[in-house]
Amino acid sequence: MTQKDPTIDAEIHDLETELGQEIDTATETEQEIEADLERGDIYQAEEELQKLRASVSRAQADYSNLLKRVERDKMEMTSYITANIVKKFLPTVDNLERALSSVPADIAEQKWTEGIRATLQGLSKQLETMGVQVFESVGQEVDTEKHEVMSQMPGQEGIILTEFEKGYTLHDRVIRHAKVIVGSGE
């Protein structure tokens, strides 16, 4: 069950109140315009009509902006929740990969190892359908937005030599930094 954002609720209430006031003002202005027209004061009626149009335009723009903000906030919240859920599954993916990489060659084709492999593939496909992607690090330059340097060893300076833990993105946003070993320049 999701919680409502009280800030958005307050803004919607304020906007509804403001729109109500705008409608009241528009009604009063309409009455003034009708009175001006009855008196034959067309100039005053046109001036009141221009004010009314400007007021309605502002109210429509405010309402439109609020709707866009609510939609943007909803999308951000969905992305945040998805990222938190996905992060909880990544250690399981890591463990399955480690398990498969340590299986001796003489038992690598047994049914239980095929089951582990199929489980890993299924989980990976599900993550992909959610927009989760692994990014390559080995051989790349260190990027602090994507990599967490754990250690250095002899090699080309600033180039990633080994990866302890894979990095992942969700719709091009890093949700887990890759833990890497970087060349020290020696």
Pairing of strands 167-170, 173-176: antiparallel
Most confident option among 28-37, 69-78, 145-154: 145-154
- Tens of pLDDT along 112-146? 999 999 999 999 999 999 999 999 999 999 999 99
* pLDDT score at 170: 94
Superfamily for the 131-186 domain: Head domain of nucleotide exchange factor GrpE (2.30.22.10)
The domains of the chain are located at: 6-85, 131-186
pTM of the model as a whole? 0.65
- Give the per-residue SS3 of the chain: CCCCCHHHHHHHHHHHHHHHHHHHHHHHHHHHHHHHHHHCCHHHHHHHHHHHHHHHHHHHHHHHHHHHHHHHHHHHHHHHHHHHHHHHHHHHHHHHHHHHHCCCHHHCCCHHHHHHHHHHHHHHHHHHHCCEEEECCCCCECCCCCEEEEEEEEEEECEEEEEEECEEEECCEEEECEEEEEECCC
- Tens of pLDDT along 142-176? 999 999 999 999 999 999 999 999 999 998 899 99
